[in-house]
Chain A
Amino acid sequence: MKKLFILMSVLVSVFVITGCENNEDDLREVELDVFMSFPRFQEQFEDYFELFEQKMLEEENIIVKINLEMPSSDTAQQLLQARLSSDDAPDVYTLHAIADIPDYYEAGYLADLSDAEFTNSVYDSVLESVTYDGKIVALPLESLAWGYLYNKDIFAQYNLTPPQTLSEMEEVVNTLNANDQTPFLLAFQESWIPQLLMALSLGGMINSEEPNFIENMNSGTGSYADIDEVFGIIDLIMENGTERAFETGGAAGSADFANGEAAMWVQGPWMSGSILDVNPDMNIGLAPLPVTNNPDTTMINLSTSTSLGVSPTSENKDIAIKLVNFILDAEHSSDLFAELKFNPLSSVHTYDTFPWVDEAMAYVAQGKAYLEKGLPNGVTDETALMLQEYYLGDKTKQQVIDAIDAAWQSAIDNQ
């Protein structure tokens, strides 16, 4: 009702201002289907899209009605793919910049946005992650500077600083253990969380000591055995973690971490919201994960995850692109991004960033960072399952290596 009332009053005022020149035929009515996997941000986006609806009515005399669909992120991809392949594509939808763009683009589900207005203000490094085949095909929403999280208060209490090598990390672990403080939080119920261990340590390795790893794997000559140093840090974390790892999911893990159950958590800044919900005074730190005793392997991961694409078959593509541009609107975007706790990714963003973002950016400024590279489909999923079994002791290191190698090989064979 409220929405309707606002719409009506705006309508009336438009008539009055324009001296009733417009009869109803001049008003274009447009419906946009927007699909986003952000149920936790439903209110924020509803409010924001209301601003867009007002703007369109005032400036262009178009009545826009936005149908916002927000399925949970577990099911979003299945729903979206079913809708895309049954010719029922939403006009605007979220997708993962690195994991999804290649497949979606090849299948012809992404419109070319290279000429859209937003491309002028987005930082080049971020724009690169949504560029495919020489074209900009999505608007980046979530850009990340990613490392593990640590509890700054606990580190301060024992005079610790984020370690830069594996042996420094061992010392930190020993100090914490000596003081009866569990070093690492383990929340392994959802398999994507243990997988982060491999993602971060692999990223450190292949961007320093093993730069040819991905090419070798793709040509069939490489193996995870080439980077098996990553198991050094993985073992250290698994051996010095909290108990009942499989009884703890992401949400429960956030609560435990916020309550100081462990000093470090290999998770990402995307959890900051739910951690701060539990303990608003928590001092979250973010640091790059050391992999070996070579400090060059200790790096921050820069990546773009959720992005916004436009369907090329949209009946109202012009309006859909305007909506995408509006996400980085000079006047409103800063408020939205600050509220969502997203990182700034465009020159229109002027809000204060969070301390952990600044901390990560300090490492980036020293050059201790790399841009996330995509792995073939299925490799990440296989890694996730294997690391769960590795933690259980059901699989040995060699079996884990073999299984991931096989998954990589099969992904290449089925391309």
Chain B
Amino acid sequence: MKNSNRILLIFCLPAFLLYSTFVLYPALGGFWYSLTNWNGLDPTYGDYVGFSNYKELLGDENFKQSLLFTSKYVIYMVILQNIIALLLAVIIESFEKTKNVFRTIFFFPNMISMIVGGFIWLFIFTRVFPYLADTIGLMILDESWIGNPQYSFYSILILSLWGSVGYLMIIYIAALQNIPKQLLEAARIDGASKLQINWHIVRPLIANSITIGVFIALSTSFKVFDQVYALTGGGPGRATQVVSLNIFSEAFAMQSRFGYASAKAVVLFVLILGITLIQLLVMKRKEVEM
């Protein structure tokens, strides 16, 4: 091994140690629990039950339902989050003086914990909207934003987009700023229209940022928890129960089946791993290097 590589490895060590203690070790532990019938309480960690938790998962309608709901959420989020973030980035970059102000405003929600953001929006949906509907007659707001499953899906989307778009926007702004000015100028002199410049020059040059953007949106929205927990708690009933919430309630509510919940978590992990790997492979191919 080259000396410089060894030094680099040593520099990684502290981070790796922390990562192993707080992420790898619990994750492996979780896999072990998924093979037991531990109830989260028993000091002997339950009995080994083999793969029976996984077998039971196949027939679990509530888990399937929550997977479907999460997939729908992921599709909406990946598309909307990236489109809105990119649009915001383009628009804000075109401002001259107020650039920084708007950048801060749109990034701001990202700095608030989503639980807090959730409670803020819960108040807006349950108190402010009905108030607006009653007093100034904005009847479009007079819906059950939390109680009607059809609308509460959009409530969750609104909250999640509000909280996460700013982060991707910063990535896209950085990508846009990295595009060499001379390329754009040359294209303009050659008579390319705005649309043509955006499609043929800007798009390929920010492709690697789009890969990152889609990757972040995919992996975070599969794991969505706090937004839903704060806003609807998965309700009414199980109408907005996402996978992580289903896992959480299996482990800490219901019958406290920690082992079974761990099996669900392992399945979710494998799913996210698979889908993001495919996404990275496909999108990496389309990137160009300068």
A: which residues have CB within 8 A of B?
A: 77-78, 81, 84-85, 103-104, 107-109, 188-191, 244-248, 252, 376-378, 381-382, 385-386, 388-389, 391-392, 394-395, 407, 410-411, 414
Chain A residue at smallest Cβ distance from B254: A378
- Nearest-neighbour CB distance to chain A for B130, whole angstroms, equals 7
A93 vs B217: C-alpha distance when bound (angstroms): 41
Question: In the complex the two chains form, is A386's CB within 8 Å of B147's CB?
Answer: no
A84: chain B residues within 8 A (beta carbon): 41
Question: In the complex the two chains form, is A103's CB within 8 Å of B146's CB?
Answer: no
A101 vs B232: C-alpha distance when bound (angstroms): 30
A-B contact pairs, 11 of them (CB 8 A): A81-B41, A81-B256, A84-B41, A108-B43, A189-B147, A189-B235, A244-B126, A376-B255, A391-B236, A394-B239, A395-B237
B50: chain A residues within 8 A (beta carbon): none
- Please tell me which one of the listed residues B127, B145, B236, B252 contacts residue A78 in the complex, with CB atoms under 8 A apart: B252
A245: chain B residues within 8 A (beta carbon): 147
- Nearest-neighbour CB distance to chain B for A35, whole angstroms, equals 15
Chain A residue at smallest Cβ distance from B147: A246
Given contacts A188-B236, A377-B254, 4 further A-B contacts (CB under 8 A): A103-B41, A246-B146, A248-B126, A388-B237
Q: Is B289 an interface residue (CB 8 A)?
A: no
Question: In the complex the two chains form, is A381's CB within 8 Å of B249's CB?
Answer: yes
Would you list which residues of chain B between 191 and 248 have a CB under 8 Å from chain A?
233, 235-239
Question: In the complex the two chains form, is A246's CB within 8 Å of B235's CB?
Answer: yes
Question: In the complex the two chains form, is B42's CB within 8 Å of A107's CB?
Answer: yes
B: which residues have CB within 8 A of A?
A: 37, 39-43, 125-127, 130, 144-149, 233, 235-239, 249, 252-257
The 5 closest A-B pairs by CB, nearest first: A246-B147, A389-B237, A378-B255, A247-B126, A378-B254
Chain A residue at smallest Cβ distance from B40: A81
- Nearest-neighbour CB distance to chain A for B236, whole angstroms, equals 4
- Please tell me which one of the listed residues A103, A247, A388, A392 contacts residue B39 in the complex, with CB atoms under 8 A apart: A103
A78 vs B249: C-alpha distance when bound (angstroms): 11
Question: In the complex the two chains form, is A394's CB within 8 Å of B237's CB?
Answer: yes
- Please tell me which one of the listed residues B125, B146, B253 contacts residue A381 in the complex, with CB atoms under 8 A apart: B253
- Nearest-neighbour CB distance to chain B for A406, whole angstroms, equals 10
Chain A residue at smallest Cβ distance from B152: A246
Chain B residue at smallest Cβ distance from A189: B146
